Structure 1
Amino acid sequence: MVKVGLAAQALPMRYSPMAVTRSSYLSAVATRADSFWLADHLNSLYPRSMAKPKYIGAARLTPKVDANLEPWTVLGHLAARNRLGRMRLGIGVTDAGRRNPAVTAQAAATLHLLTRGRAILGIGTGEREGNEPYGVDWSRPVARFEEAMATIRALWDSRGELVTRESPFFPLHNAVFDLWPYRGKWPEIWIASHGPRMLRATGRYADAWFPAAVFSPAEYARRLAAVRTAASDAGRDPTSLGAAILFFTVTGRSRDEIDEALESTAMKTFALNAPAELWKRHNVSHPLGDDFTGSQDIIPQILDEESVLSYTSNVPLSLLKDACLQGTPDEIVEQVAEWRDHGLSYPVLLNLSTLQPSLRRGLAAGNPFAKAFRGIRKL
């Protein structure tokens, strides 16, 4: 039986900052999820120019797509206010560049103590939109990530002793980290990685590999093998690394409703977050360049409505189907089973079904999403 996590965006409603996130959390409890995850963004990866009710019905409920709540604070709030369930709580994922790694180490260790060992530190290089506009250098994100991981491990392993460590990004000079691990264990580190150098870093530092699903199951298996080879090269047990993935998921009450949602302007806009290599698989070029990496490179807040409509006018349905889990609950379970057969053991699902003009259909998709979630747990 695979383990399954539920991911959400911490977006406030106009009159209730926590209503949407709390609803997602309670859905995770009701479906007996093994973990609950929040993304970590200062602003949205979706263009604010397109977050309008005519494109996204749910914009009536959450009108400010760039108003992201701070996720570590929210997870602490959920842990304190909700005694239902014993899910693990994770950040999926935080940013190794925008946040100083000492602060990230402190936040994760704090949540781990507060939840009695249920915190997971999901981490990656981050995205350009969360760094460059805020004055953080984006020229060497992978090198910065590697140094951040080494810093976090150095602080966690210091046993409260003074730490001095040279680094081009995060030098430590008589630094102190005196929090303690919960029952001798620090939070697990789940790394979001895709390219060769990041896969090698995952093998060195991670407890689990946690990419977004932007490639095929067969390619997932190949990259998982690369991660485990890197772990072995680093003197670690390669079988100890978990095999996770983040799936964006679109479902509905019928196949017609699902296809209509996939072909909506909202979903075509979301496709800008897919890398150019995924577009090429469907014989189309990414409008932002053949080397565009998608969500890692996009700065959505500067994209106006007219430009987005032009960029997304020819997005094929096949690309949209390939960019996410999609279909009826039974179809989604079958798709996850194929990934499981290629090494996946821990899918994490984010319900993207609200990215369509119909608010009613978007909300109604919650029931088939829950059915698919329960079906995956039985795999």
Structure 2
Amino acid sequence: MVSLSELKIGAPGPFLPPWDNALKNAKTIDSLGYDSMAFPDHLAGFIPQSIWTPEVTQLAYLQQSPHTYYEMASIMGACAAVTENVQLISSVTEPLRRHPALIAQTFLTLDHISNGRVVLGIGAGEIENVEPYGLNYSGQVGKLREALKIIRHIWDSHEPFNFDGKFWKMKDAVMSLRPAVEGRPPPIWIAALGPKMLEITAEYG
């Protein structure tokens, strides 16, 4: 049984305009002692515009569209710069819109900005944020597995590396940026439900 002293409480990270209000909310979450803030990585929301009304969700009072999102890494970095203690979690990104090497670099950068407070939350993605933008949603679990191999290798090695996968191929790829604390890269949290995703979680999460 988990004691109350071990219970951690998080809050949704600010991801809506106006910008000044988003940063103010981040500072408030940090000052109130929340353990974490979670930032969605969306182009589109889940609720159709046709039912985006105050009767369905009170968020409709705050924004005119369900598809209003700041770019995840940008707002995470901004919030990291104005906070001191709260953990910042991507909730969640995926390797369908973002190349694995870019994910690795982005989260090492956020690791430095936050002084080690960032968590890479990652999953296989959802179709509504992929296919409408001309990207291929097929093979998403395999892409995630390969992406995690690439990200881990970049974080663990100083040397150029090659990768010959089904979805990505690299030759003499280099990235010299290291974690803010050497040997302590950002934790990886995997969003998983089905058997294949749970296998990946057991291996990498």
TM-score, normalized by the shorter chain, greater than 0.5: yes
Residue 62 of structure 1, CA deviation: 1.1
Aligned residue for 2:92, secondary structure, equals strand
Letter in 2 for 1:75: M
Aligned residue for 2:166, secondary structure, equals coil
Contact kept, 8 Å, 2:107 with 2:118, in 1: the verdict is yes
Residue 26 of structure 1, CA deviation: 3.8
Alignment of 1:48-127 (within 5 A): 48-80=49-81, 82-83=82-83, 85-127=84-126
Describe the superposition over 1:20-58 as per-residue Cα deviations: whole angstroms up to 9, x where unpaired. x33542442243111111111111122122113454343
Residue 12 of structure 2 is matched in structure 1 by: 7
Letter in 1 for 2:61: R
Alignment of 1:156-171 (within 5 A): 156-159=155-158, 161-171=159-169
Q: Which runs of 4+ in 1 moved over 4 A?
A: none
Letter in 2 for 1:179: L
Aligned CA distance change for structure 1 residues 89 and 182 (closer, same or farther; 3 Å): same
Distance 2:89 2:56 in 1: 30
Distance 1:203 1:55 in 2: 37
Alignment of 1:166-205 (within 5 A): 166-184=164-182, 185-205=184-204
Contact kept, 8 Å, 1:11 with 1:65, in 2: the verdict is no
Aligned CA distance change for structure 1 residues 129 and 9 (closer, same or farther; 3 Å): farther
Letter in 1 for 2:173: A
Residue 134 of structure 1 is matched in structure 2 by: 133
Higher relative contact order, chain-length normalized (CA < 8 Å, sep 6+)? 1
Contact kept, 8 Å, 2:23 with 2:78, in 1: the verdict is no
Distance 1:123 1:63 in 2: 28
Q: Quick check: which one's helix share is greater? A: 1
Residue 146 of structure 1, CA deviation: 0.6
Letter in 2 for 1:164: N
Contact kept, 8 Å, 1:151 with 1:170, in 2: the verdict is no
Describe the superposition over 1:299-319 as per-residue Cα deviations: whole angstroms up to 9, x where unpaired. xxxxxxxxxxxxxxxxxxxxx
Count residues in correspondence: 199
Residue 115 of structure 1, CA deviation: 1.4
Residue 148 of structure 1, CA deviation: 0.9
Aligned CA distance change for structure 1 residues 34 and 57 (closer, same or farther; 3 Å): closer
Aligned residue for 1:95, secondary structure, equals coil
Aligned CA distance change for structure 1 residues 70 and 18 (closer, same or farther; 3 Å): farther
Distance 1:77 1:174 in 2: 32
Letter in 1 for 2:94: D
CA RMSD after TM alignment: 1.7
Contact kept, 8 Å, 1:155 with 1:177, in 2: the verdict is yes
Contact kept, 8 Å, 2:14 with 2:26, in 1: the verdict is no
Contact kept, 8 Å, 2:42 with 2:129, in 1: the verdict is yes
Residue 68 of structure 1, CA deviation: 0.8
Q: Percent identity?
A: 34
**Gaps spanning 5+ residues in structure 2: where?**
none
Residue 181 of structure 1, CA deviation: 1.4
Distance 2:62 2:146 in 1: 40
Distance 1:168 1:153 in 2: 17
Residue 60 of structure 1, CA deviation: 3.2
Q: TM-score, normalised by structure 1?
A: 0.50
Q: TM-score, normalised by structure 2?
A: 0.89
Residue 18 of structure 1, CA deviation: 4.5
Letter in 2 for 1:94: T
Residue 203 of structure 1, CA deviation: 1.1
